[in-house]
Amino acid sequence: MRLAEERALLCETGRRMVGDGLVLGTSGNVSVRRGDLVAVTPGGVALDALTPGDCPVLDLSGEVVEGARDPSSEVPMHLAIYESTGTAAIVHTHSTYAVVVSTTLRELPPIHYNTLLLGGTVRVAPYATYGTPELAAHVRAALEGRQAALMQNHGAVAVGADLHRALEGARLLEWLCAVYVQAKAIGEPRVLTEEELAAVIGRAAQGPRGASPPAGR
């Protein structure tokens, strides 16, 4: 079986997505790329009910090279992202807070410094019908220089060097959206300034122990 390890990881990731509440029913999809092949979850199957054999393998033109089930309807989006980025894994969710924010904002501002882990302010890709080239183009643009994006009136997408990191990006984005929504219920959320974000980047560059004390102290 081609991409046997990757197809098994798709199933594991799908179960984690359902367990984390990132998808409901048969919504959401996941893919992983190795070389010129992509393994993707099928359409119409709950992500926690998948077996490796359920997950078709495609080439980069979208042709199925192995597998009996039809691939997810969002294959055009996945292939567009792979074409324009160096990513190796994609997680697409319909998580509650991500959808809420996608219906109300044009971008999710950096209200917490961990937004930097996603590349900064999270853009909201304009709405288009699922599975269309238009949606694929919108999401590809929203992901430029980012590890995640929201999809207007739809959901979220996160990318990574592997499925673990892509899933962690999706989980972080959902948490950031939840913080924003709950903060908004109390008042206007404070957004971190460019200077504050730059200071975080500088502090992270020093490593976990921080800067060394001046010599002689």
Catalytic (active site) residue 74: yes
SS3 content of the chain, % helix, strand, coil (to 5): 45, 20, 40
**Distance in angstroms (rounded) separating the CA atoms of residues 196 and 211:** 17
Question: In angstroms, how far is CA 41 from the centroid of its own chain?
Answer: 15
**Distance in angstroms (rounded) separating the CA atoms of residues 189 and 71:** 40
**Distance in angstroms (rounded) separating the CA atoms of residues 160 and 162:** 5
Strand partners, 57: 39, 66
> Which one from 5, 12, 66, 74 is the annotated catalytic residue?
74
92 within 8 A of 136, measured Cβ to Cβ: no
In one-letter notation, the amino acid at residue 43 is G
Q: What is residue 147's DSSP assignment?
A: S
Number of H helices, E strands in the chain: 6, 9
Q: What is residue 201's DSSP assignment?
A: H
Residue 13 structure tokens: 């990731």
Q: Could you tell me which residues come within 8 angstroms of residue 50 by beta carbon, excluding any fewer than 6 positions away?
A: 10, 11, 14, 41, 42
| Residues acting as catalytic residues | 74
